Homo-oligomer: A and B are copies of this chain.
């Protein structure tokens, strides 16, 4: 099968940085305005994107970035988008640390049914330790335990999604037979963390089960991704870093007996586009000049559980953090510490480097398309999740960059499928009970 590029649109209202909201084109209430999301999703669908992607976290502080402070919840948001679009995939972030598997299975299953096979679940374990206090706990779960819970949680949810085999509901009005009871299956899971009997009261969608995304970057996070993910939302900083992540993740998947081509690696990406390379670089520099160092320091502190970096000398070497917990966004935090040490960064330099979203491609539509092609061909990515929070830049991307990618034969010119699995080139998983029964019959 030919390898094809995949594109997602990260719909995050006023944006995931501290400053995106000041863009004059962006409505200040975008994060809580369903019409903003509907318009953005339709724009992405018109450009034949694979999916829209909703980031999430169940914890805020007064210093959180504007979008995090006040935003729609992913499942309700995506269900509203499901009936406002027809083809595009709908991926939402939800934590396995503070939900019940039965409720998650029902809600993502229901979204998958409402959208007729377009749902995806971005599985996270929550990086912000303060979230624990919103859920009756003093302490967040330990990093290793979070990932063990996540693996079991996902397997329970996937088990519940198979509660009914295809054809379980003959709905024969004349004979009065609604259900074929032989095709309803309880799960009766009893594991280390969860006990869930089932069955779930929901049939499977046209794509069989929702697609699983995973975003963790630590060793445990990559192992979980290799085990369960159909796609990953990675956040590498450089082309070489992205290639290394890509090779590592696919090798881990192969080691688990999976087909590495069935995990799409889709890093986040921001773009700055202008008519000339010089103009694009000037724009990017100008945007950087607007950034507020204090806010960069807050953003830098986020993977360190909002550690306050404003207490340190900006021009001294990156501080010793051996007393700071890395239990939150462990992979991301460890990479910052490692890079700062290896490259001898000052705190100021680290704030500029890591206090912003990375993976920014800057240039003309043509050179941005070149860079996308380079990453795709060089197996640094199977595609990208584009940040939509700069409305002008997203319009330039869909109107100028996408047609170039289409002309080069890298990206679809129309949808060939109506499900998210179809867009991503993934098979519809066979119901586990149908497999078992087929084996018994052999």
Contacts and interface: CB of A to CB of B under 8 A. Distances in A.
A320 to B, nearest CB: 30
A102 B98 CA distance: 9
Contact of A184 (B21, B32, B62, B113): B62
A201 B114 contact: no
Contacts of A199: 60
Most buried by B among A71, A109, A136: A136
Contacts of A76: 75-76, 79, 107, 110-111, 114
A188 to B, nearest CB: 9
Contacts of A201: 60, 64, 68-71
Interface string A113-142: 110000000000000001001111100000
Interface string A147-187: 00000000000000000100001010100101101001000
Nearest to A203: B70
Contacts of A164: 70
A34 interface: yes
Contacts of A144: none
Interface stretch (A189-197, A249-257, A390-398): A189-197
Contacts of A317: none
Contacts of A194: 136
A332 interface: no
Contacts of A68: 201
A125 to B, nearest CB: 16
A113 B72 contact: yes
Interface stretch (A22-30, A269-277, A302-310): A22-30
Number of copies of this chain in the oligomer? 2
B102 A135 contact: yes
B79 A77 contact: yes
Contacts of A79: 75-77, 79-80
A195 B139 CA distance: 12
A202 B171 contact: no
Contact of A80 (B71, B83, B179, B202): B83
Contacts of A114: 34, 72, 76-77, 80
Given A62-B184, A70-B164, A114-B76, A22 B176 contact: yes
**Top 5 A-B pairs ranked by shortest CB distance?**
A28-B171, A73-B110, A79-B79, A133-B197, A76-B79
Interface of A: 14, 21-22, 24, 28-29, 32, 34, 38, 58, 60, 62, 64, 66, 68-73, 75-77, 79-80, 82-84, 98-100, 102-103, 106-107, 109-111, 113-114, 130, 133-137, 164, 169, 171, 173, 176, 178-179, 181, 184, 194-199, 201-203, 292
